[in-house]
Chains A and B, each alone.
Chain A
Amino acid sequence: MIKGIHKDFGEGEVLKSVDLSVEKGDVIAILGPSGSGKTTLLRCMNFLETADGGTMCFDGEEFTFGHIKKKDIARLRKKTAFVFQNYNLFLNKTALQNVTEGLTVARKMPKAKAVAIGHKMLDKVGLSDRYDYYPHQLSGGQQQRVAIARAIATEPEIIYFDEPTSALDPELTGEVLEVMRQLAGDGMTMLVVTHELGFAKTVSNKVIFMEGGVVVEEGNAKDIFECPKQERTREFLRLA
């Protein structure tokens, strides 16, 4: 749960006191036009950007943005995972090594055990024949699925998705969304910044619509898509 997070990039506030609460098992879609602060919100939550203020309560622990210790950041990050728009797979590692790296290096897991998990996770995202491929040998969709395997391998409490399909063509988008749908079905907590309204509509249980650094409207997916209360939301959904 987040309270009053705000972020100032110098040229106007990007996030103006955004509140957000996530329960275990939630699949929350964050929608909104470009520049509305959705990605920044996500990045602040994982400390990739430094928020200027606000508090976050995670697993019963409370943290103040801007005053959080490095050690706490490291500890929090181990409970979360992040899937990037441009995948950001480790370019010098194979698909399997990408998945095991966080286990063996960050969590000191024995190699054999990590490899077993790595195989299992790659199988899960349908890449059982691509263990030893380097990122440049994989398609965008496959890379993103490796990234998802990397994310779930650490059994995080929540996975942040930052426009996971924006760099993909429709066909590849489909295979990535299918994997995400599967994850949601498994009960994974997910916070997804996306432009895929279809995904938001059918998979997420909660939708947040942002613009200009504020939450314009939030509610369960069905309500937002069928009878949005705010004029701006209605307009956005009509255009999309």
Chain B
Amino acid sequence: MWILQFAKEYDRIEHQYVKWGGCSLIHFYPENRNRKVTEMSERTLHILTDSFWKILLPGLKVTLPLTAIAFAMALVIAIFVALIQFANVKVLKQIARVYIWVIRGTPLIVQLYLVFYGISGLGYLINPFVCAAFVLAINEGAYCAETMRAALEAVPVGQLEAGYCAGMKYHQIIRRIVLPQAMRTAFPPLSNSLLSMMKDTSLVASITVAEMFMAAQRIVARTYEPLLVYTEVALMYLVFSTVLTGLQHLGEKRLNRYRGTKKAVSR
């Protein structure tokens, strides 16, 4: 069978390669197996322990702060843009629609390149972290604005009417009655956005921000262990998002105090 022929040929080359001092799948050879396995696991363990803090620290020092700062700004943008549309402010409403259209219609990585390398190319030095935070905020703000708009529109119109009849002004009703209720509705989808933005911060590695993913890339470049190190960094992202999901559940529980737990019962 031709396949066996190929296999034999491969074995031959492989053997040759090992003789020359390369390292490969050679532990399949009985005489080498034991030596190779202990060597491999020692090396693996060494790389793992060595890289753990080298990946986690940029995660704690860059990825998380970047996520928090950018998302906080995104929320402010989102609420502002959503309110403009909700209140039907004439010219600003058109601007808001264009903003959402442009941002949602272009890839985040292109936006990052455009702003960072674009501005650098003009001869202005900008701090990559600051640039990343702004681009992420503006990007996520567009998506969150749509979430907020939907949530504002989901507040019964009677809430506004009741506010008017109580003698309250529009901005008072929005701030004290409508927004708190909209925030509750928007909370799960906003948490979604937060989660995906936390992961999207890995893209800013490409504009020279030394965050978690860039740290991993550097270690891979040195160790040639992509499977190992990228698995490690993936697990760290997973841990981060698990924590965020936990926070989401806590937040929802707290916000539920004025909203009965609505659970559909299947019969």
Give me the interface of A with B, judged by CB distance under 8 Å. 46-48, 74, 77-78, 80-82, 84, 86, 88-94, 101-102, 105-107, 134-137, 150, 154
Contact = CB atoms under 8 A, between A and B. Distances in A.
Nearest to A48: B161
19 contacts: A48-B164, A74-B167, A77-B165, A84-B162, A86-B158, A88-B161, A89-B162, A91-B159, A92-B258, A93-B177, A101-B166, A101-B168, A101-B177, A105-B168, A106-B167, A106-B172, A136-B259, A136-B260, A137-B260
B177 A92 contact: yes
A206 to B, nearest CB: 23
B158 A150 contact: no
Contacts of B176: 101, 105
B75 to A, nearest CB: 19
Contacts of B168: 101-102, 105-106
Interface in B146-203: 156, 158-159, 161-169, 172, 176-177, 180-181, 184
Nearest to A46: B165
B161 A77 contact: no
Interface of B: 156, 158-159, 161-169, 172, 176-177, 180-181, 184, 257-260
A88, A92, A93, A102 interface centre (most CB from chain B within 10 Å)? A92
A115 B204 CA distance: 52
Given A91-B181, A102-B167, A106-B168, A84 B161 contact: yes
Given A80-B165, A91-B181, A105-B172, A134 B257 contact: yes
A72 B161 CA distance: 17
Contact of A84 (B158, B184, B259, B260): B158
B166 A102 contact: yes
B165 A81 contact: yes
A137 B167 CA distance: 26
Contacts of A86: 158
Contact of B165 (A82, A94, A134, A136): A82
Given A84-B158, A84-B161, A88-B158, A93 B167 contact: no
A155 B166 CA distance: 11
Given A105-B168, A105-B176, A154-B167, A90 B260 contact: no
Given A82-B165, A84-B162, A136-B260, 14 more contacts: A48-B164, A74-B167, A74-B169, A81-B165, A82-B161, A91-B181, A93-B177, A93-B258, A101-B176, A102-B166, A106-B167, A106-B168, A134-B257, A154-B166
A86 B157 CA distance: 12
A73 to B, nearest CB: 8
A161 B162 CA distance: 12
A88 B167 contact: no
Contacts of B181: 91-92
B9 to A, nearest CB: 73
Contact of B180 (A78, A92, A107, A154): A92
A168 to B, nearest CB: 16
Contacts of A47: 164
Contacts of B177: 90, 92-93, 101
A88 B166 CA distance: 11
A90 B169 contact: no
Contacts of A101: 166, 168, 176-177
